[in-house]
Amino acid sequence: MSDVTTFSATVSATTRNGILLVTIDNPPVNATSADVRLGLSRALAHAEAEPTISGMAITGAGKTFVGGADIREFGKPPVEPTLPDVIEKIEALSKPVVAALNGTALGGGLELALACHYRIASPMAQVGLPEVKLGIVPGAGGTQRLPRLIGVPAAIELITSGRIAKINEALSLGILDELAETDLIDVAINALQKLAGTPLRRTGELAVAPADPIEIEKVSGKLLAKARGQKALAEAVRLIASSHRPLGEGLADERATFLTLRDSREAAALRHVFFAERETSKVTGLEDVDARPVNTIGICGLGLMGSGIAVSALGAGYTVIGLDQTPEAAEKGRERIIGLLERNLASGRQDQAGFDAQTARLSVTATDADLAACDLVIEAVFDDLDVKIDLFRRLDKVIRPDTILATNTSYLNPDEIASATRHPGRVLGLHFFSPAHVMRLLEVVRCSETATDVLATGLAVAKRLRKLPVVTGVTEGFIGNRIFSAYRREAEFLLEDGALPHEIDAALEDYGFPMGLFAVNDMAGLEIAWARRKRQMATRDPFERYVEIADRLCETGRLGQKSGRGWYAYPDGKRTVDPQVTAIIEAERAKKGVAARSFSREEIQQRLLNAMAAEGEALLAEGIAARASDIDLVMINGYGFPAHKGGPMFEKG
Ligand code: T1G
C-alpha cells in the first residue's frame, strides 16, 4: 500500500496492486461539495495519466458512501467542476472504475456510482434518488442511467417515490452488481484486476429496455394524481420515459430541468423543510445535558391513543407495561395492541421473529404497583384534569423518584397536572398525534418546572421512536391546535362574511391540503369542539367576534359524517353540499346584519394563511415556539399543510 495522495481537503487515495483507491471524506454525509468534486476530478486525471494505475475504486469514509449533492450549495453560483462533469469523466475513463459502496448512496452519490463501470456494496449499503422530496429531479444522470440498468417502469417507481432501496432489492434490480461478503476494498480490488483490459460496460452506452406504455401509465398514473401540483414528479416521469433518446440529449434535458426546478419556490420550500427537520431537536441549553436511560415505558390508558403509543414503543425496542382501570380493560387493550402488531406482520412490515420479540416485551395490568419498574410513564387516559391528576398522584406512590411522567393531553394545562404531583420537575408533555403509531409528529411540552434532563430524555425517546419532536411551551393547544383554532376561527369568519364550506374546502385543496377543513371536521366529528365552546362560553370575551354557525349545526344534530350530516350531507356516504347548511349560514348572517359577498380561492387562501402566520408570530413572541420553522413542521406533519409550500411561516416569508 503506497502513501496517501491528497487530491483535495476531502478526497485522498492510496495505491494497492496498481489500483488507485480513492476515499471521499467529507463529514457528516460525504456530500459532493465543490471540494469533493475537485478532488475526484484530479484523482481521475491522475488515474488516466499514470501508466502504473490499472484501475480506480471510489469509496466513502464513515457510514455513508455519498449522501448526495451538497444541498447547502443550492441557490449559490455553481462552482466548477459540476457533478455531471465529474460523472462524465468517470464513465469515459479508459480504465475501469468500481464504486465500493460502504454505506448509503443517495442522489448524486448514487448517480456517481451509476457512472462507474461496476458497483460493489457492503451489506449496510442502501441506495435511492430522493431528489423529488426536495422538489427537484436527479440532475447528474439519474433519470438517464438508472433506466438503462433497471428499465423505465422500475426507474419511475424508485425516482418518483424518492424511497430508499436496501441492498437485496438493489442487487436484484441490477442497480448494484455484487455484495461484498468479505472486506469491501479487497473485493473491489479483485474485481478491478479482473476488469483490467476487458471492454468496459459504460452505463450510458446501454440501451433502455423497451417499456409497455400501459405499464408506464400504471406506475406513473396514480403517483401523478397525488402530486397535487408538484412539478418535479411529472418532470421526472417525462425524463425517464424518454430515456431511450441518445444519452447526450437526455442528459442535457435533465440538467436544464434540474436547474429550473432547483431555483423554484417549491424546491426552496422543501429544502427549508429538510433542514428544519434537522434543527427541531436542537434545543438551546440542552447541548451538554445527558438524557436519563429509558428501557421500560409504562402506558396508562390503552384506548386508541395509548395502544398506538404502545405499538410505537414496542417497535422502537422498549419494554412496555400497559395499565388500564380493570383487568378486562387491560386485556382489551392488549388485544388492541396485538391486533396492530399483527397488521404489521400481515403486511410484511414486520417478520415473525420481530413480532414475537415485540409481543414478548409487552405486558398489561390493572395494578398501579406493576409500573414500579418503569423509567418513563406516559398517560393517555380520558382528557379530564381530575382524572389525570388522580392518576399521577397514584403513580407518585409506586414509581421511582427519577421516573419521568409524561402527559399526552391535547388541551389541558400540563403545569396544573405537574404541580399536583410530588416531583413536578419530572413531568413533561408528550403530545402524540393519532394514530400514534403512524403520525411522526410529537409535540414535546416543556412545563414550567420540567427539568432539563427530563426534556432531553423526552427528545431522546422521540428520536428512538422515529418521531419528529417539536418542543413547545405551555399554552392552550400548544403549537398545532392553537394555530388550528386560529385558522378554523378565520374560516368561520369567512362563512359569516359570504363564503360557503365547500368553497373554503376547495380553496384549501387547491392550495395543496389533502382535505378541506370542514370535510375533516365532519370526519372527526363536531361534538368535542362544541363541548369545549360551551365550557368556554362563560369566560368568552363578549367583545370578541364569535360565529355561532357551528353551534346551530350541532344543536340540530348535525354532528358530522358519523351522524349522517354535518357541514355536508352524506347521502349514500357521499359528501354533498347541503342547502340546509347554506340556509343556516344565511340565517346567521342575517341575524348579524352581514352583507355577504363572494370570495375568490386566492382570497380565501390568503386570509387563512395570514391567520395561521399571525398566530405563529404570537407563539414566537410568547416563547411558546422556539423557531418559525418548528411551526412549519407542526402544520405540515400534524395538519396536512402541503410540504411543498414550506409551511405558514415560510409562506409569509
Ligand atoms: N447536503 C448537505 N447537508 C446534508 C445532506 C446533503 N445532501 N444530507 C445530510 N446533510 C446534513 C444534515 O443537514 C445534517 O446536518 C447532517 O448532514 C446529518 O444529516 C445532483 C441534486 C444521508 C440518509 O436528499 O437523507 O443529490 O444538522 O441527520 O440521519 O441529482 O442525511 O448535523 O448540521 O439526516 O445519518 C439528494 C439527504 C441531494 C439525501 C443521513 N440527497 N440526506 O441520515 O443524518 S440532491 C438527499 C439524507 C442531489 C443530484 C441532486 C440523510 C442521510 P446537521 P442527518 P442521518
- In order, the DSSP letters of 311-379 are HHHHHTT-EEEEE-SSHHHHHHHHHHHHHHHHHHHHHTSS-HHHHHHHHHTEEEES-GGGGTT-SEEEE
Ligand 1 within 6 A of CB of 69:
yes
Q: Check which CATH number belongs to the domain holding 397 and give it.
A: 3.40.50.720
Ligand 1 centroid – CA 28 distance (Å): 8
What is the rounded average pLDDT of the residues 561-570? 94
Ligand 1 contact via 72 beta carbon (within 6 Å) = yes
Is the CB of 84 inside a 6 Å radius of any atom of ligand 1? no
Domain boundary among 248, 266, 284: 266
Q: Is 29 in the pocket of ligand 1 (CB under 6 A)?
A: yes
User: Can you give the pLDDT at residue 487?
Assistant: 95
What's the CA-to-centroid distance between 301 and ligand 1, angstroms?
Answer: 38
503 in the same domain as 434? no
298 has which bridge partners? 321, 377
pLDDT tens, position by position, 52-70 = 999 999 999 999 999 999 9
**CATH code of the domain containing 522:** 1.10.1040.50
446 and 507, same domain (yes or no): no
The predicted-structure confidence for 365-414, as pLDDT tens digits, reads as follows 999 999 999 999 999 999 899 999 999 999 999 999 999 999 999 889 99
104 Cβ closer than 6 Å to some ligand 1 atom: yes
User: For residue 220, what pLDDT is reported?
Assistant: 84
Using one digit for the tens of pLDDT, what is the confidence trace for 362-373?
999 999 999 999
With a 6 Å cutoff on the Cβ, whether 138 touches ligand 1 is yes
229 occurs within a structural domain: yes
Instruction: Of 113, 33, 29, 123, give the one whose Cα is nearest residue 80.
Output: 33
User: Atom of ligand 1 at shortest distance to CA of 69?
Assistant: 26
Between CA 329 and CA 326 the distance in angstroms is: 5
Tell me, what's the pLDDT at 198? 87
Q: What does the buried/exposed string (b/e) look like for 496-519 if buried means 16 or more CB atoms within 10 Å of the residue's CB?
A: bbbbbbbbbbebbbebbbeebbbb
Domain of residue 177, CATH code: 3.90.226.10
273 located within any domain: no
Kindly state whether residue 313 falls inside one of the protein's structural domains. yes
In a 3-state reduction of DSSP, which class is residue 18?
coil
Amino acid at 153: P
Q: What are phi and psi of 572, to 5 degrees?
A: 55, 30
* Shared domain check, 325 and 256: no
Catalogue the active-site residues.
410, 431, 443, 481
Domain stop point among 472, 492, 516: 472
Cα 424 from Cα 195, distance rounded (Å): 67
The residue type found at 610 is: N
For ligand 1, mutation pick of 10, 26, 29 (most atoms within 8 Å of CB): 29
528 or 91, higher pLDDT? 91
Q: 324: how many CB neighbours lie within 10 A of its CB?
A: 22
> Using a CB cutoff of 8 Å and minimum separation of 24, what contacts does 356-363 make?
358/314, 358/315, 359/314, 361/314, 361/317, 361/318, 361/319, 361/320, 362/310, 362/314, 362/320, 362/322, 362/334, 362/337, 362/338, 363/320, 363/321, 363/322
The pLDDT of residue 37 is above 90: yes
Residue 52 belongs to domain spanning: 5-266
The residue from 449, 472, 495 where one domain ends is: 472
Q: 336-342: long-range contacts at Cβ-Cβ below 8 A with a sequence spacing of 24 or more?
A: 336/302, 336/303, 336/304, 336/307, 337/302, 337/307, 337/310, 337/311, 337/362, 338/362, 340/307, 340/308, 340/311, 340/437, 341/311, 341/314
Q: What is the mean pLDDT of residues 462-477?
A: 96
Q: Are residues 523 and 428 in the same domain?
A: no
Residues 507, 609 within the same domain: yes
In a shared domain, residues 530 and 430: no
- Closest ligand 1 atom to 71 CA: 1
Is 378 a member of any domain?
A: yes
Q: Which atom belonging to ligand 1 lies closest to the Cα atom of 72?
A: 2
pLDDT (tens digit, 9 = 90+) per residue, 596-624?
Answer: 999 999 999 999 999 999 999 999 999 99
Return the C-alpha cell found at 575. 359528501
pLDDT of residue 536: 86
Report the chain's C-alpha Rg in angstroms. Answer: 28
Q: Is the CB of 270 under 6 A from ligand 1?
A: no
User: Residue 106 and residue 416: Cα distance in Å, rounded?
Assistant: 47
By the 8 A CB rule, do 271 and 74 touch? Answer: yes
Reply yes or no on whether the pLDDT at 82 is more than 80. yes
| pTM, 2 dp | 0.93
Write out pLDDT tens, residues 119-168.
999 999 999 999 999 999 999 999 999 999 999 999 999 999 999 999 99
Residue 152's nearest CA partner among 230, 214, 107 is 214
350 found inside a domain: yes
> How far, in Å, CA of 576 to CA of 597, rounded?
22
Asked if residue 1 has pLDDT above 70, the reply is: no
- On the CB side of 606, CA atoms within 13 Å amount to 5
Using a 6 Å cutoff on CB, does residue 131 contact ligand 1? Answer: yes
Beta-bridge mates of residue 104: 64
Q: How many Å apart are CA 598 and CA 114, to the nearest integer?
A: 55
Average pLDDT, the chain: 95
Model confidence pLDDT, tens digit, residues 322-347:
999 999 999 999 999 999 999 999 99
Question: Is the residue at 385 inside a domain?
Answer: yes
Q: Residue 110 in contact with residue 129, Cβ under 8 Å?
A: yes
Question: Is residue 249 located within the same domain as residue 141?
Answer: yes
Which amino acid residue places its CA nearest to atom 55 of ligand 1? 29
pLDDT at 488 over 80: yes
Using the atom order of ligand 1, give the atom closest to the CA of residue 142.
Answer: 30
Q: Which atom of ligand 1 is nearest to the CA of 262?
A: 21
Q: How confident is the model at residue 467 (pLDDT cuts 50, 70, 90)?
A: very high
Ligand 1 centroid–CA 106 distance in Å is 9
409 shares a domain with 497:
no
What confidence category does residue 224 fall into, taking pLDDT thresholds of 50, 70 and 90? confident
Q: Examine the domain organization and report whether 607 and 507 are in the same domain.
A: yes
Digit-coded pLDDT (tens) for 156-179 = 999 999 999 999 999 999 999 999
Domain identity same for 462 and 350? yes
Ligand 1, atom 49, lies closest to the CA of 108
**160 CA distance to ligand 1 centroid (A)?**
18
| In the chain, % of residues over pLDDT 90 | 90
Q: Are 304 and 434 in contact (CB under 8 A)?
A: yes
Domain membership of residue 24 (yes or no) is yes
- Contact predicate 615/647, CB 8 Å: no
For residue 448, is pLDDT > 80?
yes
Q: Are residues 522 and 602 located together in one domain of the fold?
A: yes
Confidence of residue 216 (pLDDT cuts 50, 70, 90): confident
Does 243 sit in the ligand 1 pocket, CB within 6 Å?
no
70 lines ligand 1 (CB under 6 A): yes
**pLDDT (0 to 100) of residue 105:** 98
Nearest CA to ligand 1 atom 9: 29
Query: Residue type at 503?
Result: E
Residue identifier of the C-alpha nearest atom 10 of ligand 1:
29
Q: Residue 250: pLDDT above 70?
A: yes
Q: How many domains does the chain have?
A: 3
Domain contains 335: yes
Look at ligand 1, atom 38, and give the residue with the nearest C-alpha.
Answer: 68
Q: Which of 11-15, 416-420, 494-498, 537-541 has the lowest mean pLDDT?
A: 537-541
Asked if 107 and 69 touch (Cβ cutoff 8 Å), the reply is yes
Inter-residue contact 630 to 465 (CB < 8 Å): no
Percent of the chain past pLDDT 70, that is, above it, reads: 99
71 lines ligand 1 (CB under 6 A): yes
Q: Are residues 310 and 250 in the same domain?
A: no
